[in-house]
Amino acid sequence: MNPSLIEQLQLGANGLPYQVPIHPNLVHLTLGLFIVAIGFDIVGVLFPLERSVFKLLAIPATRSNFFDVGWYNMLAAAVVTFFTVAAGFYEIMLAQPLADVKSAWGLEAMETMLWHGVGGVILLLLIVGMTVWRGFQRYAWNRDRARQVQWTYLLAGLGIFALMFAHGTLGAQLAAEFGVHISADRLLEIGQNPNLLLK
């Protein structure tokens, strides 16, 4: 965004109208819920192998409950990710990254921001698509089967993990390397001492 446009707003040292960014906090929910949803579906599919382990640990476990976790966690991930992406776009529009550095992946700030923005929309579509796919498996196709999910769905989930790793690393680089929305980094850039100003 054009710096003179950003100056039209009354912003804090971090370049936001509030103390800490919202997007990274919603990211905890998106990633946690999605990854655990796929994880528990894998536990459900492999249940015959695990039965003796749960018995040994004296934890009562029913196969269908793991598929419940897989479904409800995925549904929650889809709902929350709309807010994650919305908050992300708000905060990326106010970003003023360090211009003279390259990330550990050899990208400059603008490239990193563009890939992270596009990646976020693609991930939202994929998560919603996975939720719809999962819903069909639960309520239509595999309704009366002991095994609720298909291997292709789980493999797609693992593929999305890889995409999430790359996407998340870009986001981490925007913060920890380009200093986006980090008060201390932005104070250092204008020659101030955070140790004196952030008491």
Partner 1 sequence: MFEYLPPLNDHNLPYPDTVHPIVVHFVIAMVLFAVLCDVIGYFTRNVRLYEVSWWNLCFATVSIFIAVIFGQVEAGLAEPYTAAEPTLNLHTLIGWTLSGVIAAITGWRYILRVRDPKTLPAPFLGVGVLLLGLVFFQVYLGDLLVWVYGLHTVPVVEASREGVFQ
CB of 176 to partner 1, least distance (A): 4
By CB under 8 A, which span of 62-70, 106-114, 139-147, 148-156 interacts with partner 1? Answer: 62-70
The CA distance from 99 to 69, in Å, is 44
Residue number with CB closer to partner 1 (69 or 154): 69
Length of the chain: 199
Task: Tell me which of 9, 20, 99, 132 binds partner 1, using CB under 8 A.
Answer: 20
- Specify the residue, 126 or 152, whose C-beta has the smaller distance to partner 1: 126
DSSP structural state of residue 8:
T
- Residue 196, SS3 per DSSP: helix
96 binds partner 1 (CB under 8 A): no
- The secondary structure of residue 178, as a DSSP letter, is T
What part of residues 97-116 is at the interface with partner 1 (CB under 8 A)? 98, 101, 104
Distance CA 113, CA 179 (A): 12
| Of residues 3, 2, 20, the one with CA closest to residue 182 | 20
Nearest distance from residue 190's CB to partner 1, in Å? 11
The C-alpha atoms of residue 51 and residue 61 are separated, in whole angstroms, by 8
Window contacting partner 1 (CB under 8 A); options: 1-9, 57-65, 120-128, 152-160: 57-65
Q: Do 95 and 112 contact (CB within 8 A), yes or no?
A: no
Maximum distance among all Cα pairs of the chain, rounded to whole angstroms: 66
- By CB under 8 A, is residue 131 in contact with partner 1? no
Is residue 193 within the footprint of partner 1 (CB under 8 A)? yes
Q: Rounded CA gap, 93 and 149, in Å? A: 39
Site residues (vs partner 1, CB under 8 A)? 14, 19-21, 24-25, 27-29, 31-33, 35-36, 39-40, 59-60, 62, 65-66, 68-69, 72-73, 76, 98, 101, 104, 168-169, 172-173, 175-177, 179, 181-185, 188-189, 193-196, 198-199
